[in-house]
Structure 1
C-alpha cells in the first residue's frame, strides 16, 4: 500500500489544485471540447478533469440543452478565474479561496452560486506513528501546506482555535506531490491538505487526522461568472440554466454515490475505494445554498485573513463580487451538509 500512494497522487497534482491560491506557469488551461445543444448561443464553461462536465453527463443533465457548451479544462482555480477575468470563460466552478485571490487582484469576476458541504476532508494529517494528538501539539513543529489554498486557511483557522498562530509553527510551503514526499519521509511533522488527498492517505494507512475543518471553515464552493456574460441577457439566462442543472446533478450525486464514484474514478485515475470515500466524506455532501449575507460574511473573514497576512495585495469587500440573482428558493448557506455516515477510511 505504501508504494501505490505516490504513484496515484502525482497525477492528481494536475487535477485537483482547485483549492490552490497559486499556480505554476503551465497552469494556463487548455484542452476541453464542446457539447452541442439547441440554438446558436454558446456558453464558455471552465472546468477541471472529473468536474462539472463529468457530473452533468453522469446525471443526464447535458441532455436537451437549449444552448451549446464549449468546455475549457484547467488544472486549478486561479488560472480559470484569470480566464474569467479575460472574458475567455463565462462561468466556472472553484473552491472558497481562489475568488478571494482573484478579487484581491481586482479581477473582473462575480460569484453567482454556492454549495455548502462537509469540511471533514479539509484536514491536518500526521503519520500513524506520530506522537502528536491535538492541535496544540503542533507548536514548534513543521507543517506542509500549499500556499493560498483552502488548506492554508484551514490551517490558520485551526491554529487560531487552539490559541496558536503561523508564527508558532514552521510552515513549509509545498504543492501536494512534494508535500506527500516530505510527509511520508518524515521531513515535516504534519500536512494540511484537502480531499481526495485526505482519503488517499487514510486508505493507504500512511496517516491519521489530527484535526479537520468541520466547524472551522465555511465549507463553501462557488460558481464564478464573468460580469460581461452576466450583462448579456441571453448568456445570463444560459448561466442561470447551467447553475440549475448543476444543482440537480449535485442532488443526483447524493442519491447515487457508488455510481458517481465509479465515473469519478475513471475520469481521474483514482482507485474506486478512494473515490467513494472522498464522495462520502466531502464531494457528495454538498447542498446547493443561497448566496446570502452569512456566505458573504464568512468569505469576508477569509479575505481579511489573507490581507492581514499580506498574501493578497489589498483589502476589499467581497460583497462587491457577489450577484444573488440565481438564489431562487434555496436554503441558507449554513444549511447542514448531507451525511452518508462515516466513510470507510475513518
Structure 2
C-alpha cells in the first residue's frame, strides 16, 4: 500500500499524554507527589494523567490554601486509573465517557461524582489529506485503527451506524496511539479514530477529518471516586472542595486559553500551536455540569452499545454507579459546550 507523508511518532505527543478521553490497558506511570496545607490531617489520593488536573489546578492558582494534603499519582489512561480506584489506592480521578462503562461491567467499586460537557470535535476519524475517502459511508471494506474501549471507539461505532454501516462492514484494528500512527503513516490502515490532542497534532502534519463526534457522542468527562473515600467524612469533604476547585480552574482555562496552552505544552512536550488548537477545539470548551438523569441515560446508551457488541460482559446499569451529592447548582449535563467560534 502507498505510504503517506506523515512524520513518524517521534514528533507525536508522548503516549503518556493519553488524557481523559483514552482507553486501553496501560499501567500507572509514576509515583506520587504531595501538596499540603499547614497541619492538614486528611490526605486525598488523586489519580491524574500527564498534563492533567494537577497542572491545570496549579496554573489556575487552585492548589493554594488547601486544608488537606493531595497525593498525586500519574496514569497513562483512564482504565488503569479506575483499577486503582477499585483497589482503594486512589480516592478520585478524571476519565472520559467510556472507561467508567468498562469498569462498571467489570463490577469495579467506583462511583461517578462529577461531570463536564465539552465539544466532541476532537473525537475524530482521520484520513490522509490525499485520501479518496470523502464520507463515513466510504469506510465500507476499509481498515481503521482505534484504541479499544476508548471514547474514540464509541465515536467510530456511532459514525459507522449513522452511515448505515456495522462494525463488521469494516476491519477494525485495536491499536494504541503509537501503533495506530505507525499504521496510519505506512498506509496499513485507511483511517484512524482518535481523540484530542492527538487529533490536533495529526491535523497539522498531513491529515484531515473524515467525520467527528459532534452530534454523535455525548462529550462528557467524569470524576470518579472510590466508595470508601465517599464514606469517609474527611475525604468526602476534601473531594467536595477539590471538585469546586476543578470547576473554577475550568472556567479559568476558557478565559485564558493561550496561557493554559503554554503550560500544557510545557508539561506534555506538545508544540504550543498544537496545544492551543486542542484547547480551543475541545479542552477549553468544557463546562462543569451535573451528573443528572440525562447524563445517566446518555451513558447507558454507551454501555448498551458495547454490551450488544459483546465488548463488555453482560448489561451495565449505569445509574447504580452514580452519586449526585456534589451536583449542587451545576447546570444540566446537556448544557452547550463553550465555543471559541468557527475560526478558532
Q: How do 1:38-53 and structure 2 match up within 5 A?
A: 38=38, 39-53=40-54
SS across alignment from 2:125: strand
Partner of 1:6: 9
SS across alignment from 1:331: coil
Partner of 2:238: 238
Distance 1:197 1:250 in 2: 21
Counterpart check, 1:152 vs 2:150: no
Could you give the per-residue CA deviations for residues 270-312 of structure 1, whole angstroms, max 9, x where no partner exists? 0000000000000000000011100000000111111111111
Question: Structure 1 residues 4, 37: closer, same or farther in 2, change over 3 A?
Answer: farther
Q: Which runs of 5+ in 1 are unaligned?
A: none
Partner of 1:161: 162
SS across alignment from 2:71: strand
CA contact (8 A) 2:142 2:190 kept: yes
TM-score by length of 1: 0.95
Partner of 1:317: 317
Distance 2:289 2:153 in 1: 24
Question: Structure 1 residues 227, 63: closer, same or farther in 2, change over 3 A?
Answer: same
Distance 2:220 2:318 in 1: 14
SS across alignment from 2:326: coil
SS across alignment from 1:30: strand
Quote how far apart the aligned CAs of 1:155 are.
Answer: 0.3
CA contact (8 A) 1:105 1:314 kept: no
Partner of 1:22: 24
Partner of 1:31: 31
Could you give the per-residue CA deviations for residues 108-157 of structure 1, whole angstroms, max 9, x where no partner exists? 00000000000000000110111111111111111111111111100001
Between 1:181-190 and 1:250-259, the stretch displaced more is: 181-190
CA contact (8 A) 1:29 1:79 kept: no
Between 1:146-155 and 1:15-24, the stretch displaced more is: 15-24
Partner of 2:256: 256
Partner of 2:298: 298
TM-score by length of 2: 0.96
Partner of 1:219: 219
Distance 2:321 2:22 in 1: 19
SS across alignment from 1:270: coil
Distance 1:3 1:138 in 2: 20
Distance 1:335 1:17 in 2: 22
Quote how far apart the aligned CAs of 1:32 are.
Answer: 2.7
Question: Structure 1 residues 17, 199: closer, same or farther in 2, change over 3 A?
Answer: same
Aligned length: 339
Quote how far apart the aligned CAs of 1:17 are.
Answer: 5.6
CA contact (8 A) 2:299 2:318 kept: yes
Q: Which runs of 5+ in 2 are unaligned?
A: none
CA contact (8 A) 1:281 1:342 kept: no
Partner of 1:92: 93
Quote how far apart the aligned CAs of 1:173 are.
Answer: 1.4
Quote how far apart the aligned CAs of 1:13 are.
Answer: 1.4
Distance 2:148 2:201 in 1: 21
Counterpart check, 1:66 vs 2:67: yes
Quote how far apart the aligned CAs of 1:15 are.
Answer: 2.0
Partner of 1:104: 105
Quote how far apart the aligned CAs of 1:7 are.
Answer: 1.3
**What is the alpha-carbon root mean square deviation over aligned residues?**
1.3
Distance 2:8 2:218 in 1: 29
Question: Structure 1 residues 110, 343: closer, same or farther in 2, change over 3 A?
Answer: farther
SS across alignment from 1:32: strand
Quote how far apart the aligned CAs of 1:333 are.
Answer: 0.4
CA contact (8 A) 1:8 1:270 kept: no
CA contact (8 A) 2:16 2:29 kept: no
Partner of 1:289: 289
Distance 2:281 2:11 in 1: 19
Between 1:266-275 and 1:186-195, the stretch displaced more is: 186-195
Could you give the per-residue CA deviations for residues 47-88 of structure 1, whole angstroms, max 9, x where no partner exists? 111101000000000010111101111111111111101111
